[in-house]
Structure 1
Amino acid sequence: MAITNLNQFVQDYFIAHDCPILENTDGVMTIQLTEEMDLALMNRPFYWHYINKMGVTGRPFQLTLITNPEKREEKGDWIHFGSPRLQQIINHLEEKERYTKLFQTIDTKINTPLYPWLVTNIKISYHGKQKKDEVLSIGLQLVNGKMRLNMMEYLETIPLQSSIADYCFTISPMIRLKSGFLRMESLVLNYLDDQPKEWAEESLITLKEELTTLHHFYEGMEELEQMEKEIDEINERYEPNITIHVINGGIFYLIE
């Protein structure tokens, strides 16, 4: 259910943004950025301002990303759930491509119905002694209620375009968007119920140990305000909690 193939996720992201993949071997990927993606990811606004002002052609960087932990010492950015580079990519998706509407590409000469799918990519963040992020991709067919997991991987196998193909027409949804999102929310909550809870238990043990140590340290002292401040910091650091955030989504019209 979770997008565990981070290498594939990153590759799909850059291909979707017209960036050639120069190499992708054993978890080491080198990408030739476009000017747009260089601006978005490489933090060179002054360079591009100068280039545009001079009216000359700029040189976008090449970016090497490492998704294989065994290769993390090689030259490049080691990217993993929770890493700044992955968060940057997710932020870019949130800011620029939060919602889309696409149609399946079909070459037909007969009237062909297209069915609406609500697709949502959701980031789940686990906070505690250890921190972890994962991304779920969920699709819901808004006519018959069928749900599909790993929806983005499925969409990779389907040619899509921004306008409806000739001889095609859309089927009106039977399920309202609000109801669709509620179904997805229920699915995500059920998913979380099925996940191992050891990370939360370990966080609570550490939280209790840290608070016990803190109380021993301040025993007999009158610096209650400082102690309360440190208690709040410990709770914030170790108290286990989960946040759910919608990255992006859209409506996809497909033949089934």
Structure 2
Amino acid sequence: MAIENLNNFLHDYFQAHHCHIQNNKDGVLQVKLTEEIDKELMNRPFYWHYINKMGRQGDTTTLNLITNPDKRDEKGDWIHFGSPRLQQILRSLVVNERYTRLFQSEQSTTKTALYPWLVVNIKISYQGKQNKDEIISLGLHLIKGLMYKDMMDLLGNVTLKPSIDDYCYTIAPIIKMESGFHRIENVLNDYINNQTHDWADESLQTLKDEITLIEHFYTSSADDETNHEHMQREIDDMKERYTPKVTYKVINGGIFYLTDNF
């Protein structure tokens, strides 16, 4: 499921930036970048400076992005939650596109209501002996209070645009933005708390074992103030490294105006 979600995330990112999806099959995504995204991701400033100065049309990069572990040895970028390419895309989203407002495209000749959804994409980081990141997307209907997980997957077949179509009109939200964020935060906390956290137990056991080894080493050494300071420093380092922590931060989000049966 994690691989499928990651692949969908990449597909949605490049599609939203008008890149040409050449192929997307079995965890391998091939995409032809636009000039804007090439400049953002490929680190070719001298090439684009020359091309723009000469008034020529540049040749943009084609990326082969692999999220299927069975195909990680194929030619291309192996993408996982710690990979440099994914982190680069996430940083780009944080810097350039943290908040947006989009409208569902609805080619209608009659009046059509669009309802507000608060959509937030969040990165959860599990830190301990083993580190892991997870990206989830939550959507809250600001009229009915409905909430969906994997919201971006649900929007996969919905055409979104920055301007509203003719004959469409928006419904004002009943749930205020601050209250909406609190609801999303509560759902996020429940989601984390309801998971099994064997990784946290393993981290705590490793921490306990490491502290025992450190104390044994220094106890068998000469007992002086310098040794005690060194021991405490190492123990503090181990606590920082192995104490399990779960943190999360918003990657991006926005208000999406959608039909009642999108």
State the TM-score, normalizing by the size of structure 2: 0.90
The alpha-carbon deviation at position 60 of structure 1 amounts to 2.1
Query: 1:92 is matched with which residue?
Result: 92
Quote the Cα distance in structure 2 between the aligned partners of 1:12 and 1:78: 18
1:107-159 Cα offsets, whole Å, 9 max, x none, are: 22332222111111111110011111111111111112111221111112222
Residue 250 (structure 2) pairs with residue 242 (structure 1): no
1:101 counterpart letter in structure 2: R
Verify the 8 A CA contact 2:116 2:171 in the aligned structure 1. yes
Aligned match of 2:21: 21
1:223 partner SS: helix
Deviation per residue, 1:176-208 (Å, 9 max, x gap): 000000000000011011111101001111111
| 2:237 alignment partner, one of 212, 222, 233 | 233
Aligned ranges 1:10-159 → 2 under 5 Å: 10-159=10-159
How far residue 49 of structure 1 moved from its aligned partner, in angstroms, is 2.4
State the secondary structure of the residue aligned to 1:252.
Answer: strand
Q: Supply the distance in 1 between the matched residues of 2:3 and 2:61 (Cα, whole angstroms).
A: 27
Aligned partners of 1:207, 1:128: CA distance in 2, in Å?
10
SS of 1:113's partner is strand
Q: Bigger shift: 237-246 or 76-85?
A: 76-85
- What is the aligned residue count? 256
1:172 is matched with which residue?
172
1:163 maps onto 2:167 in alignment: no
Q: What SS does the corresponding residue of 2:163 show, helix, strand or coil?
A: coil
- Aligned-pair distance for 1:237? 1.6
Letter in 1 for 2:93: L
Give, in whole Å, the separation in 1 of the partners of 2:107 and 2:121: 29
Matched AA of 2:194 = D
- Quote the RMSD (CA, aligned, Å): 1.9
Identity of aligned residues (%): 58
Measure, in 2, the Cα distance between the counterparts of 1:49 and 1:24: 32
Q: What's 1:254 paired with? A: 258
Is contact 1:3-1:137 (8 Å) kept? no
- Structure 2 stretches lacking a partner, 5+ long: none
Give the letter aligned to residue 122 of structure 2.
I
Deviation string 1:70-121 (CA, Å, 9 cap, x unpaired) is 2222222211122222111111111111111111212223322221111111
Following superposition of structure 1 onto structure 2, how do residues 195-206 of structure 1 map, counting pairs within 5 Å?
A: 195-206=195-206
* Consecutive aligned runs of 4 or more in structure 1 exceeding 4 Å deviation: 1-4
Are the equivalent residues in 2 in contact too, given 1:102–1:252 (CA < 8 A)? yes
Distance 2:207 2:123 in 1: 25
Q: Given the superposition, is the C-alpha separation of residues 114 and 21 from structure 1 closer, same or farther in structure 2, using an over 3 Å criterion?
A: closer
Counterpart CA distance in 1 for 2:209 and 2:126 is 20
Contact 2:21/2:32 (<8 A) preserved: yes
Contact 1:3 1:136 in 2 (8 A): no
